[in-house]
Amino acid sequence: MPELPEVETVRRGLAPVMEGRVIARAEVRRPDLRWPFPPDMAARLTGQTVVRLGRRSKYMLAELSGGETLLVHLGMSGRMTVSGDPLGRFEHAHSAPDKHDHVVLEMADGTRITMNDPRRFGAMDLLPTEGMETHRLLAGLGPEPLGNAFNADHLADRLAGRKTSIKAALLDQRNVAGLGNIYVCESLYRARISPKRQAGRIGRERIEALVQSIRDVLTDAIAAGGSSLKDYRQADGELGYFQHSFDVYGREGQPCRRPDCGGTVTRIVQSARSTFYCPTCQR
- CA 79 – CA 186 distance, rounded (Å): 24
230 is catalytic: no
> Which one from 58, 112, 167, 251 is the annotated catalytic residue?
58
The reply to whether 2 belongs to the active site is yes
Q: Which of 21, 34, 162, 273 is catalytic?
A: 273
The end-to-end CA distance of the chain, in Å, is 28
The length of the chain in residues reads 283
DSSP annotation of 163 reads -
**What region, left, alpha or beta, does residue 47 occupy, with left being phi > 0 and alpha being psi -120 to 50 degrees?**
left
Give me the catalytic one of 3, 68, 106, 186: 3
Helix %, strand %, coil % of the chain (to 5): 25, 25, 50
Is 112 part of the annotated catalytic residue set?
Answer: no
Cβ neighbour number for residue 233 with a 10 Å cutoff: 22
Could you confirm whether 58 is annotated as catalytic?
yes
Would you name the residues annotated as active-site residues? 2-3, 58, 273
